[in-house]
Amino acid sequence: MLCRFGENVRPYLAGGVLLLVLLLAACGEVSTDLEIETERIVAGVDLNQLFAPPTAQERQQVLDEWAAREVAARNAQEVARASLELDGTSVTLQILHHTVQGQRHVGAVVVPDSLQGPAPVLVWLHGGDAGVRLETDVWPLVDSLDLRRFVLVIPAFRGEALAYQGLTFSAEGARNPWDGDVDDALALLNVVLARVPMADAGRIVVFGMDRGATVALLMAVRDARIQTAIGVAGLTDFFGAFMQQVVEEALQGTVRPAPGLAAFSEQVLVPLRDGTLSMAEARRALLRRSPVWFADRIPAGQWHHGLQDPVIPASEAERLASVRPASFQVYLYESEAHDLISLPGSLERIRALLDELAGANP
């Protein structure tokens, strides 16, 4: 049987794939290797177009945009200071205000009083959407990982707050998860490097949990001064299968209760659906949050993820593992936890890496 496909067939192909499959079957042309892309239009958004792999041109556009971002240390001032002991070590805590892209932001720096010379810098990047509380989010890690050897830098992201002993220090601006978070953290890092003589600019590590884990990788991608990046249970690829499902749900009105997704939906997905954000702009927004597409710029470090993580699937870690540089290790754990403490052996691995950076004996 001879089959010919002419102009009369074309109008039906846009309406679905079934007709094409039946016609091919009639011609004996169907193969188990045949792949036909189905149309995916959700709330007027073409998901196939949105999630097509980024091009080299798009990647360069994002790199150029990052290079033009304003993250210099501006208008920095100390608004609070305290002396305290962390696990028997006397430290000085400073709360700093500084300006990022015209808005006031806030962060903390902790400097051990016993330092005799420059010490490595560790930037802690919080998870969740509730800002950072020093007593519960940071101090427990100081003991577990012996962070008393570091100058600690702790940013609160825009639109959030830093809390300590009942005091709340708020940052201005609208929340901009992952992308804006990196600007805020880099600006605070620059403030500390300019103001704290004991901060060693040649030894910088960034360390984050869930939302903060993605921020850590993106910071390292954007700033070559960062030697080491450590992440726990974060997102790595906004073009991947998990985020495709999350975005489809959000376009239909259901936003998962995972850190950062509500603000991301409001700032990117709703405008895209409503036609006030172009497809090209939306794709760059995804790319700016996807460190795996800049894997060649990721430094040494570690990633830790539970195989049964109920919030962010381990497929995000597996995606990172598929493109990581040799100096970056990805660890997967038989665990249902979405936290660092419950991943057996993770603290020991991170501490060994920090020992190496600090020049200490394990």
Full pLDDT tens readout for the chain, 362 residues: 233 323 333 332 333 333 333 333 444 444 445 445 588 999 999 999 999 999 999 999 999 999 999 999 889 999 999 999 998 899 999 999 999 989 999 999 999 999 989 999 999 999 999 999 999 999 999 989 999 999 999 999 999 999 999 999 999 999 999 999 999 999 999 999 999 999 999 999 999 999 999 999 999 999 999 999 999 999 999 999 999 999 999 999 999 999 999 999 999 999 999 999 999 999 999 999 999 999 999 999 999 999 999 999 999 999 999 999 999 999 999 999 999 989 999 999 999 999 999 984 33
Nearest Cα to Cα of residue 354 among 301, 310, 309, 303: 301
How many angstroms separate the CA atoms of 35 and 141, rounded? 49
Cα–Cα distance, 260 to 290 (Å, whole number): 14
For the chain, what's the residue count?
362
3-state secondary structure of 46: strand
3-class DSSP state of 152? strand
Q: What angle do CA 328, 287, 62 make, to 5 degrees?
A: 100
Kindly list the distances between the CA atom of residue 47 and the CA atoms of 58, 284, 286, in Å, as whole numbers in the listed order.
17, 14, 13
Structure tokens at 264: 């991301």
> What six digits make up the tokens of 103?
């808005």
Q: Is 201 exposed, middle or buried (0-12, 13-18, 19+ CB in 10 A)?
A: middle
d(CA 174, CA 263): 9
Taking the alpha carbons at both ends of the chain, their separation in whole angstroms is: 75
Which ranges constitute the DSSP H helices of 33-177? 47-50, 56-68, 139-144
- SS3 at position 163: strand
For residue 53, the model assigns a pLDDT of: 98
Sorted by where each begins, the domain ranges of the chain are 1-39, 70-237+290-358
**Per-residue confidence (pLDDT) for residue 36, from 0 to 100:** 52
SS3 state at 305: strand
Fold for 70-237+290-358, please state it.
Rossmann fold (3.40.50)
Whether 127 and 259 have beta carbons less than 8 Å apart is answered as yes
Pull the structure tokens for residue 336: 């249902």
Q: Which amino acid is at 197?
A: P
Strand ranges of the sheet holding 161-164, from the earlier edge strand across to the other edge: 132-133, 161-164, 167-170
Return the closest-CA partner of residue 219 out of 181, 266, 190, 268: 181
Q: Rounded CA gap, 175 and 311, in Å?
A: 20
Give the pair of three-digit tokens for residue 169.
Answer: 């220090």
Asked if 208 contacts 214 with a C-beta cutoff of 8 angstroms, the reply is yes
DSSP summary character for residue 33: T
Q: Which helix (H) or strand (E) holds 133?
A: strand 132-133
pTM of the model: 0.89
Q: Which residue has the tokens 């103001």?
A: 195
